Amino acid sequence: MTDQGEDAGADARLDPHDAASTNRFVRGWRIAGTLVQIVVVESLVIGIAALPAVAFWNWIGGVLIWEPWILRTMVLSVSLVPSYLLFACALMALTAFFCRLLRWYTPLGEHSIRALSPEVLRWVKYSVAGHVVRTLCGELFRATPVWSWFVRAMGAKVGRGVHINTTAIYDFNLLTLEDRVVVGGRAQVSCHFVEGGLLKISPVVFREGATIGTGSIVSPGVDVGECGQLGALSFATKHTRVPAHTAFGGVPARFLKRFEPGTRLAEEVLYRVPPDPDERDREPDRT
């Protein structure tokens, strides 16, 4: 009797959209509606962002129609780079604007993928919008203040002097990067993972002065303390806590060394993977 009661209680706690998810028509309708929204919004965003460049090319073609073809060709060729820069900046600004307007974001908590709940579909649309920007112009602006601005515009909390040398950042609205945070090249930061058919989402926090090494992977729920360091090519598993003034590294990331505020760790410390036997699994001094 107890097992049956527990099963009934578990069923009652399921996502209310699970019942509807068994209906193929409902699932198909939700998928179709989401795809239509993505296509319409991205068409508007990309089309409006490209409008200044297209208008300029039309103007050049009309003004120089009687000029020598070589001059017209040279002007159009030279205009490619500034036109692309203009398009890229407009694309980032419009993407952030529409995401805020339509309330596309990554929701906290656990959500059933099978149910295709509004939270899951909102996350899908938000992820697609970010992916379009990463693909079309992210590499051009990474490691520049423009990219930091876009990350902030998409909902992240970004402090002063932040350096983000990667485009592999997901779930912007759940990221906190305090002052003087450095995220190394090709590092990957994500606030979501899928487990047991559930989309599980937790925020990621990099506190003041934290450093994320090149090629590292940061999982959901990770919290890097003040001036904490995650070595290059490390893997911080979900909900890892890196204390302040402490270096972690390896796969999975483990405690390497605690250092005094204001000191700089030698590179051999951060790249020592795995740690020496006498330091492996040692708990950092929290006093």
- Kindly give, in sequence order, each residue whose CB lies less than 8 Å from that of residue 274, ignoring residues fewer than 6 positions away: 250, 254, 280
pLDDT tens-digit map of 89-138: 999 999 999 999 999 999 999 999 888 889 999 999 999 999 999 999 99
Whether residue 36 has pLDDT greater than 50: yes
Please tell me the chain's helix, strand, coil percentages from 3-state DSSP, rounded to the nearest 5. 45, 15, 40
Instruction: Choose among 153, 161, 37, 36: nearest CA to 91.
Output: 153
Query: 274 preceded by cis ω (within 30°)?
Result: yes
**Which listed CATH number (3.40.250.10, 3.10.20.30, 3.40.50.300, 2.160.10.10) goes with 153-287?**
2.160.10.10
Question: Does residue 53 or residue 73 have the better pLDDT?
Answer: 53
* Helix residue ranges, H only, the chain: 2-12, 18-21, 24-63, 69-78, 80-102, 118-133, 139-141, 145-153, 267-270
Query: CA 165 to CA 183: how far, in whole Å?
Result: 6
Size of the chain, expressed as the number of residues it contains: 287
Q: Where are the domains of the chain?
A: 1-141, 153-287
193 DSSP β-pair partners: 200
Read off the pLDDT of residues 144-179 as tens digits, 9 standing for 90 and up.
Answer: 999 999 999 999 999 999 999 999 999 999 999 999
